[in-house]
Structure 1
Amino acid sequence: MAEICPSFLDHQQSKLHSTDTINLCDTAAGKPLLVVNTASHCGYTSQFEGLEKLHKRYGPEGLVVVGFASDDFQQEADSEEEAADICFKNFGVTFTMIAPGPVTGHHANPVFREINEQSNPPRWNFTKYVIDADGNVVRHFPSKVTPDDPALIEAVESVL
């Protein structure tokens, strides 16, 4: 499957508050994605609940939801343990969460370096990117667009 996986996904990423890593090609090759930069102490943090609903609703159809914890906007928890508690305990997140790292600028992780080339870099936390199975960003949505917004749902359904 690696041959149909976009190269920007083919990197080991540390999972949030875990010794485990994930190569997104192992879980997302040939599948559409919803990629979101997240933060634990942000006015939009409650969107984790809606993202989890999208994951449960569209995961069986192939959508892979991935959250990238980031402190680019100084809204992340002080520790990965606290961030994990907020995601996993407070909001019941079961989709993949990547450990904190940069999502903007030249230090951005490989996934966001590519997203930033194809689209607009995140200007704040909870920017959402709908990516088709070939690795193309088809739409992006700013923080204020909630996971249940009809336009976001339409974009997700368009790549399934």
Structure 2
Amino acid sequence: MKTLLALIFTLCALPALAAQSFTFANIDGGTIALDQWKGRPVLVVNTASRCGFTPQYNGLQDLYDRYKTRGLVVLAVPSDDFKQELATGAQVKEFCAVNFDLTLPMTDITHVKGPQAHAFYQWLKESQGWEPGWNFNKVLLDRDGKVAATWGSTARPLSRAITDAIDKTLQ
């Protein structure tokens, strides 16, 4: 019985730990591993350059600037799953630099839903029953890599709901 309980406890803990083990292609080349930010909250946002929500990049950068010294990481994940992203990572990087002066970390263009979804997004769907319904959906991971909150596209990065959740993960 003790072995069975230990196995159940281990299996229940796996989804929370798995968030830290994912690696993305970096828009600058190389990789971004979520475990490089172990112990820090991470806001992961699927983005697109040609979306009505694209001006949220300003809010994401402001959020990053406001909280980065306290440990928050904001990770932009460009995706063309909703047919609103530029053709290449280089174009996305240039677009974001010229129009938004982004300094936050950014992955290369990544699938976020469906059968080709990145393993992180597959994990979210399997463990949380959540996947992006559109561009600029947001997922806050706490310091332990557990999902603290999710928001849809209409949630502005500096909204009270998001900043309150971030403040809570930073306590």
Question: Please, what TM-score do these two structures have when normalized by structure 2?
Answer: 0.83
Aligned pair count reads: 154
CA contact (8 A) 1:8 1:110 kept: no
2:26 alignment partner, one of 15, 18, 29: 15
2: CA distance, partners of 1:151 / 1:49: 18
In structure 1, list runs of 5 or more residues that go unmatched: none
Gaps of 5+ in 2: 1-15
The alignment-based identity, stated in percent, is 36
Pick closer, same or farther for the CA change 1:98–1:127 going to 2, 3 Å: same
Equivalences for 1:1-160 in 2 at 5 Å? 6-16=17-27, 18-26=28-36, 28-117=37-126, 118-160=128-170
What is the TM-score normalised by the length of structure 1?
Answer: 0.89
Quick check: which one's helix share is greater? 2
Larger CA deviation: 118-127 vs 79-88? 79-88
Q: Secondary structure at the match of 2:94?
A: helix
Deviation at 1:111, TM superposition (A): 1.8
Partner residue in 1 for 2:10: none
SS in 2 for 1:97: coil
Q: After TM superposition, give the deviation of residue 156 of structure 1 in Å.
A: 1.1
* Rg (Cα) greater in structure: 2
Aligned-residue Cα RMSD (Å) equals 1.6
